[in-house]
Structure 1
Amino acid sequence: MGRSRYEVLITNAAGTTILTDPIGHADPVTNTPGHSRIELKPRHNEAGFGELQVSAVPWILSAVQTPDARLVVRRTDEPSGQVAVEFSGPIEAPENAYNIETDGTDGYGTVKVKCTDDRVWCGYRLVYPNPAQAATAQTSAKYAIAAVNPETAMYALANLNLGPGALAARRLTGLTMAAGASLLPGVTVSASFTRDTILSDALREVSRLAGGAGLGYRIVQTSSGMQFQVFKPQDLTASVVFSRPMGNIRELTYAASAPTATVAVVGDATAGIGRVIKERINTGAHSSGWARREVFVDARGAANAGELDQAGDEALKEQGPQTRFSARVIETPQLRYGFDYPLGAQVSVQPYGGGPFVSALVLGADITVTPDRGEVVEPIVGTDNDLLADAKAAEIRKLWRTIGRLQGAL
């Protein structure tokens, strides 16, 4: 079974109680029930997803049909014995109950179980303008972040809308907050979110505003439940390197495009000639030789001058000159995903032959485990998580940001 051993646990909704014995590989020779196929697609700052095909013995069926039961997939590196929790999250639904014709090793057949990782809970919460008040008793128009450290802002968003600091009915049972680690000292962000903002979108927005590689967020399985964590991407650019000449890139897509805007003219909610107008300029694009290209940004939802600037800068980033690449890299004995470089780490990639090595993020991985092929791990690295994870979802998020600017206070 390759170099790794995969083991599946099923827990209760809070992640505090294990509902089954550890589930290993199904063995038709010894008639041992277990998993016969695992597919995992973890993603950076996104809710990944997975699918498990497992023996439909009564004790497994009972566990997977428990409301909000969770899967925890542990991956053990056989040579070193190092263990990593590769995936954890709620079961969405057993598919078609079970199929007794698929597997005759134990006479019970198999069941396919679909799941998402625990970050999906951030997609199940809205950002309340005042998280201390019920949705029907709001007296604030927006949730405002004014010159706050991005790590602090992300912990506050999660804690007040999902964690122990939320209203009792909104708390995710079993979730705790990790302690802050003083990430990005001296950096502050400002933003505001209307009541239709999804928590996961707000967290990504704060991460983006932090600049550079931003910050990552995750909900991880611990020995006592689940924990929300904010982390700074680990800088492994000096030790984890990918290029075609090195033979560790399977597939690579590289694209450069001209800007559609280098100057943003931003307007607030004031009507007529008294409307406050700000101009934001992409000086980097102009210094590189790109000519002036103007765009108007309607930011009538902005609460202050800082948010006007932010709306303009956001438009310039989206419409500025772009150099994007994505690569599916090859896992080698010297560089193993999850052990030598984790999800969200910064690594070095040569995007085209003879070109410079640049920093990229580990944006995800596609992992398949079967009896005949063992494990097949395809890590994904690149510069644009939106393009890699879900391009359609990325466009929808951009539309929502535009609508939010136009709506102002709902």
Structure 2
Amino acid sequence: MAPITVQVRDENLDIIGVVSDFTSLTITPRFNAVGAYVLNIAADSPKAHLLLPGNGLVIRRGADVLMSGPIREPNWTRSENDGGGGTLTVNGVDDMTLLAGATCWPNPTAAPGSQTSSVYKISGVVAETAMRALVNLNIGPGAQAARKVANLTLAADGAHGMSITKQVNQFDNLLTVLQDIAKTAGLGFRIIQVGGNLQFQVYEPADLSASAKFSFGLGNLTDASYSVTAPTCTKAIVVAGGSSSPRVVSVTTRADPAFPGPWIELFVDKTDVDTASTDLAAQMAQAGDEALTSGAAQGNLTMNPIDTPLLQFGRDYTVGDKVSCQVRDDFITDLVREVNITFDAQGGYVAKAVIGSSDSTDNHDVVARQFQYIAKIFNRLRRLETRKPA
């Protein structure tokens, strides 16, 4: 296994030191969501003075960056039985936090006082191209100076994903919008430090289900648990217009063979969309597809994998990849949603992977969950605000 290197960066992303005397390090990379890390070190370490908010960590395994992100909360503890200066616990998040803290402006190139549009429209654009445009115009190189994140770049456009037509409500959370697009298009995205810059990347997760297999029989699994949740939507009823334009209703269904029974209907509110729009059908189809994808039955597999010479995390699979794990008599195939990895001072580590999830955000991440909850409330309020009186 390649060694772990913990570098400290300053606010300009310059590397100012290497922490080699940590006692433990836990990192939790998450697929299309905000990851986190926790580092423990002696408080009297000569590198402790570097571990302050404003700085950040770049965590590498060999030449590969496992995670990069800002330091959020350094905490100090000491008891009467501790020797030295006590213990410093450094909590941080990965650079995906930039997306969680930003909103989508209806006209990203206009000044705050000129935001007369109520929505930002994406019309017939490949999913990756749409995602890059949202990041670029809101916080990237193409953003207004006051909103631009220094040193943020975009990887080359690989034109991944399907063509989408979507209406983004004013000031929707940027991370939530990207998650919706990525989930429907089957894409992954991340922000990670590359050289002296941060880079937004979109990619297609690898299907490693034939080669990355976990089971007790193969000796690369210590324990596993699996649960299934029933679908919450198998029939999406999309309603557009109704105030300043005639109401239009479309119904999209997606049966789930594993859960036979009555249809589960869900109202999808697109009444802020003018039914005279030339892309009305595409917008309604996109909204119905997103509702069915989010409301589909979900499997949630938690497992403790063991690295073997033939299969190792970071080398043979990572978050976002599709892998297989034996559950009873069958192999379950799904995406690796997150991996919790703890390294100790001796170079050993324990990994705990979560395969599948109830949605594209991480249910254990409080920040992501709060953003999602607030976004849902704001969406409903904005739809009321943007409706024109009859």
| TM-score bracket relative to the smaller structure | 0.7 to 0.9
What residue ranges of structure 2 are gaps of 5+ in the alignment?
Answer: 275-279
What residue ranges of structure 1 are gaps of 5+ in the alignment?
Answer: 25-33, 77-82
1:241-267, Cα deviation, whole Å (9 max, x unpaired): 12344343422212152x454333332
Partner of 1:180: 157
Change (3 A) 1:61 1:199: same
1:267-309, Cα deviation, whole Å (9 max, x unpaired): 2231599522222222x34898544444433321235333333
Q: Does the CA-based 8 Å contact 1:326-1:388 persist in structure 2? A: no
| CA shift for structure 1 position 365 | 1.0
Q: For the residues of structure 1 that align with 2:151 and 2:283, how far apart are their CA atoms?
A: 36
Equivalent of 2:5, from 7, 10, 14?
7
SS of the aligned residue for 1:19 comes to strand
Q: Which amino acid aligns with 1:94?
A: P
| CA shift for structure 1 position 148 | 0.7
| CA shift for structure 1 position 395 | 9.0
Q: For the residues of structure 1 that align with 2:195 and 2:244, how far apart are their CA atoms?
A: 60
Partner of 1:39: 26
Equivalent of 2:50, from 37, 41, 63?
63
Q: Which amino acid aligns with 1:278?
A: S
Partner of 1:19: 16
1:75-126, Cα deviation, whole Å (9 max, x unpaired): 24xxxxxx43222100112114x6496864xx44432111100000111111
Q: For the residues of structure 1 that align with 2:244 and 2:138, how far apart are their CA atoms?
A: 38
Q: Does the CA-based 8 Å contact 1:251-1:328 persist in structure 2? A: yes
Q: Determine which structure has the larger strand proportion and give its number.
A: 2
Partner of 1:354: 329
Partner of 1:335: 311
Q: For the residues of structure 1 that align with 2:144 and 2:105, how far apart are their CA atoms?
A: 11
Partner of 2:121: 144
Change (3 A) 1:6 1:307: same
Q: Which amino acid aligns with 2:64?
A: A
Identity of aligned residues (%): 31
Change (3 A) 1:366 1:294: closer
Q: What are the residue-to-residue correspondences of 1:377-388 with 2, within 5 Å?
A: 377-382=351-356, 384-386=358-360
Partner of 2:277: none
Partner of 2:268: 297
| CA shift for structure 1 position 178 | 0.9
Partner of 1:345: 321
Partner of 2:300: 325
Q: For the residues of structure 1 that align with 2:61 and 2:195, how far apart are their CA atoms?
A: 16
1:370 aligns with 2:357: no
Q: What are the residue-to-residue correspondences of 1:254-293 with 2, within 5 Å?
A: 254-257=227-230, 259=231, 261-271=233-243, 274-282=246-254, 284-285=255-256, 290-293=261-264
Q: Which amino acid aligns with 2:11?
A: A
Q: How many residues align?
A: 377
Partner of 1:80: none
SS of the aligned residue for 1:338 comes to coil
Partner of 2:291: 315
Equivalent of 1:157, from 130, 134, 139?
134
SS of the aligned residue for 1:204 comes to helix
Q: Which amino acid aligns with 1:169?
A: A
| CA shift for structure 1 position 53 | 1.4
| CA shift for structure 1 position 145 | 0.8
Q: What are the residue-to-residue correspondences of 1:29-108 with 2, within 5 Å?
A: 34-57=21-44, 60-65=47-52, 67-76=53-62, 83-96=63-76, 99=78, 104=83, 107-108=84-85
Change (3 A) 1:371 1:61: closer
1:328-360, Cα deviation, whole Å (9 max, x unpaired): 24122221111111221121233x3223x3431
Q: Which amino acid aligns with 2:321?
A: A
Partner of 2:203: 231
SS of the aligned residue for 1:337 comes to coil
Partner of 2:188: 216
1:114 aligns with 2:100: no
Change (3 A) 1:297 1:153: closer
**TM-score computed with the length of structure 2 as normaliser:** 0.85
| CA shift for structure 1 position 237 | 1.9
Q: Does the CA-based 8 Å contact 1:219-1:228 persist in structure 2? A: yes
Q: For the residues of structure 2 that align with 1:174 and 1:311, how far apart are their CA atoms?
A: 34
Q: For the residues of structure 2 that align with 1:63 and 1:360, how far apart are their CA atoms?
A: 40
